[in-house]
Chains A and B, each alone.
Chain A
């Protein structure tokens, strides 16, 4: 079987599996269909866009998804909760810690142990989740610069992201897909010396972010490319279920870390930056990018405060066991539960149905923030130029692993 070509090629195969929504015959005079992706760097993954254009103007954008579909929900229905956890890493692979955090939180709530998790565990979770949020925003900002022609930012952001990945590798042993936050605890305590190194890194990061702001965000070319482009009014954003930096970029102070006050976030002092329309209209691509940069500063503040707690109030202890609360057997009572948490991209939610008789969920649905955020692309890009479409995709900040799950 191995050296045999199994795939039966047919010219019509693409039309059968992913047919275009618009047909050549239905187009008006001067209109044409441009296919972008699935293999194209500016689509940030395997996203295929069917774009109906009239000259340079976009008439309609039809996204075709599913190229990275890995059946997360089907897997989750066949595996115990703790074995599903590594799969959540692979959803939004740029922010694996945040996914794990929300999934673990949901299962803990179902078991009713969410209030008994030791404070040190919660603070460590917050530190690693915020580090991962920084890494995710760095990819978003760096590749967004790259999309619209600022190559320097990409290298700078990747350099700083590398530091974060090394820190997290030191913590968990893996660079991107960690399986570090467990239901009821953590895989392991922080390595000795991590707190000092992390604090050192965070101090190093602040001037670098300023540099990024100088070079990219306030750059006249960048402002011209992003201001007044892809304007998202707040009511439309809510109607489309948009969350995360996109919604905040439109001017709504809505962050689940504050609204739901989960984990130890209520004990930490941080601000929620929102878009103000400084360079153009409220809710344009520039606002969304600016919100991401400001969020990086807030993440740094959160990390600093958490590290302070981790070195003083809840400091390292020989007897501390991060797995003390990890349940031997995860069998929740029969119930329905929807849990949500703030991922770098927006609201990540998990819907669980437990039947009370097995260790395997009856149903586990993942609500991907990128999936919902991407659904607005047609509204944002319609009527604009093709070049603006690239700016819009970048400002949505999608990860196809989470769109397709």
Chain B
């Protein structure tokens, strides 16, 4: 099933919600409305034709200060139907937050924590949103485009 068909399915189930195809994406992708991400994912997970049971990868992305947006990209895979899909949500860079998918996929737990750790994107309703790779008292979010490392950490110079 192509992303166009999935998009039509989504538009039928969620009238009045904007869905857009992502250009030049492999696997094909759809931009979903941020506020109804959980409903969209629940639909994709439960729909018999699609049945996306595996959430392979969650990627955070910062488009920079000028663009003023951040993205979270979800790579889904359906084992029984052999379907790939990329779901993308756009967030406001000033206050990046999106609903957590831990209820649907347990794998989202750590992957969302990693995105939070690197980008400071807040996942609502996440049961345990702590930093996962960086120390808990590290300042700033390292993968943001405007990140500048702190000068000293425990008296050690950070940048050499």
Residues in chain A within 8 A of chain B (CB atoms): 6-8, 10, 13, 16-19, 21, 65-66, 69, 71, 73-74, 77, 109, 236, 238-241, 252, 254, 259, 333-338, 340, 347, 349, 351, 353, 362-363, 365, 367, 371-372, 375-376, 404-405
- Contacts A66-B134, A349-B56, A363-B59 given; indicate if A336 touches B155 (C-beta within 8 A): no
Task: For residue A115, give the distance in angstroms from its CB to the closest CB of chain B.
Answer: 14
Q: B5-13, B24-32, B91-99: which one contacts chain A? A: B24-32
If A238-B79, A336-B86, A338-B75 touch, whether A18 touches B57 (CB-CB below 8 Å) is no
Docked complex Cα distance between A7 and B114 (Å)? 27
Shortest beta-carbon distance, B63 to chain A, in Å?
9
Note all chain B residues with C-beta closer than 8 A to A404: 133
Q: Given A16-B136, A18-B135, answer yes or no on A338-B26 (Cβ-Cβ < 8 Å).
A: yes
Cα distance A340–B130 in the bound complex, in angstroms: 28
List the 6 shortest-distance A-B pairs measured between CB atoms, nearest first: A241-B107, A8-B155, A17-B135, A335-B24, A66-B133, A336-B25
Q: Which residues of B contact A259 (CB under 8 A)?
A: 82
Residues of B within 8 A of A349 (CB): 56-57, 75
Of residues 37 through 78 on chain B, the ones whose CB sits less than 8 Å from some CB of chain A are 53-57, 59-61, 73, 75
Q: Quick check: A254 and B79 within 8 Å, CB to CB?
A: yes
- List, in ascending order, chain A residues with CB within 8 A of B142's CB: 71, 74
A-B contact count (CB 8 A): 110
Given A336-B73, A337-B25; A240-B79 close (CB under 8 Å) = no
Bound-state Cα–Cα, A209 to B113, Å: 40
Given A65-B132, A241-B54, A335-B24, residue A7 in contact with residue B109 (CB < 8 A): no
Q: Is the C-beta of B154 less than 8 angstroms from some C-beta in chain A?
A: yes
In chain B between 137 and 160, which residues have their CB closer than 8 angstroms to a CB of chain A? Answer: 137-138, 142-143, 154-157
For A334, give the chain B residue with the smallest CB separation.
B24
* 23 residue pairs A–B, Cβ–Cβ below 8 Å: A6-B157, A17-B135, A18-B135, A21-B128, A21-B130, A65-B132, A65-B133, A73-B118, A238-B53, A240-B106, A241-B54, A241-B56, A241-B106, A333-B24, A336-B24, A338-B26, A338-B56, A338-B84, A340-B56, A363-B59, A365-B60, A404-B133, A405-B133
| A375 lies within 8 A of B107 (CB) | yes
B136-A372 in contact (CB<8A): no
Give the complex CA separation of A14 and B29 in angstroms: 43
Least CB distance, A242 to chain B, in whole angstroms: 8
Bound-complex Cα distance A404 to B73 (A): 20
Q: How far is the CA of A77 from the CA of B110 in the complex (A)?
A: 22
- B110 → chain A closest CB, angstroms: 4
- Among residues 72 to 128 in chain B, which have CB atoms less than 8 Å away from a CB atom of chain A? 73, 75, 79, 82, 84, 86, 105-107, 109-111, 114, 118, 128
Q: Which residues of A contact B133 (CB under 8 A)?
A: 65-66, 69, 404-405
The residue of chain B having its C-beta at the shortest distance from the C-beta of A356 within the complex is B24
Instruction: Report the bound CA distance from A82 to B118 in whole Å.
Output: 24
Count of residues in B whose CB is under 8 Å from the partner chain: 44
The smallest beta-carbon distance between B89 and chain A, in angstroms, is 14
- Contacting pair A336 B156 (CB below 8 A): no
- Complex-state Cα separation, A170 to B158, whole angstroms: 39
Taking CB as reference atom, which chain A residue is nearest B24? A335
Q: Is the CB of B56 within 8 A of A6?
A: no
B22 on interface, CB distance cutoff 8 Å: yes
Q: Once the chains are docked, how many angstroms separate the CA of A82 from the CA of B88? A: 27
Name, among A17, A254, A351, A365, the residue most crowded by chain B CB atoms within 10 Å (CB to CB): A365
Which B residues touch A241, using CB under 8 A? 54-56, 105-107, 111
Query: Which of A336, A340, A362, A372 is in CB contact (< 8 Å) with B22?
Result: A336
Q: Shortest Cβ distance from A83 into chain B, in angstroms?
A: 19
B154 — which chain A residues lie within 8 A by C-beta?
Answer: 7-8, 10, 13
Given A74-B142, A336-B25, A17–B156 Cβ distance below 8 Å?
Answer: no
Given A19-B136, A66-B133, A337-B26, A6:B107 Cβ within 8 A: no
Task: Apart from A19-B136, A241-B106, list 5 A-B contacts with CB within 8 A.
Answer: A18-B135, A74-B143, A77-B143, A109-B26, A238-B53
Q: Residues of A contacting B110 with CB < 8 Å? A: 371-372, 375
Asked if A338 and B155 make an inter-chain contact with CB atoms under 8 angstroms apart, the answer reads no
Q: Complex Cα distance A18/B132, Å? A: 9
CA A404 to CA B133, docked complex, whole Å:
7
Report the separation of the CA atoms of residues A338 and B57 in the bound assembly, to the nearest whole angstrom.
9
B80 to chain A, nearest CB (A): 10
Residue of B nearest to A73 (CB): B143
In contact, B57 and A365 (Cβ under 8 angstroms) = yes
Closest to B130 in A: A21
A351–B26 touching, CB < 8 Å:
no
Whether A239 lies near B105 (C-beta < 8 A) is: yes
**A109 to B26 Cα, complex, angstroms:** 9
By the criterion CB–CB under 8 Å, are A367 and B57 in contact?
A: yes
Flag if B105 contacts A351 (CB, 8 Å): no
> Which residue of B has the minimal Cβ distance to A335?
B24
Contact A239/B107 with A338-B57, A365-B57 known, Cβ cut-off 8 Å: yes
* Known contacts A372-B110, A375-B109, A7 near B156 by CB under 8 Å: yes
Minimum CB–CB distance for A360 against chain B, Å: 13
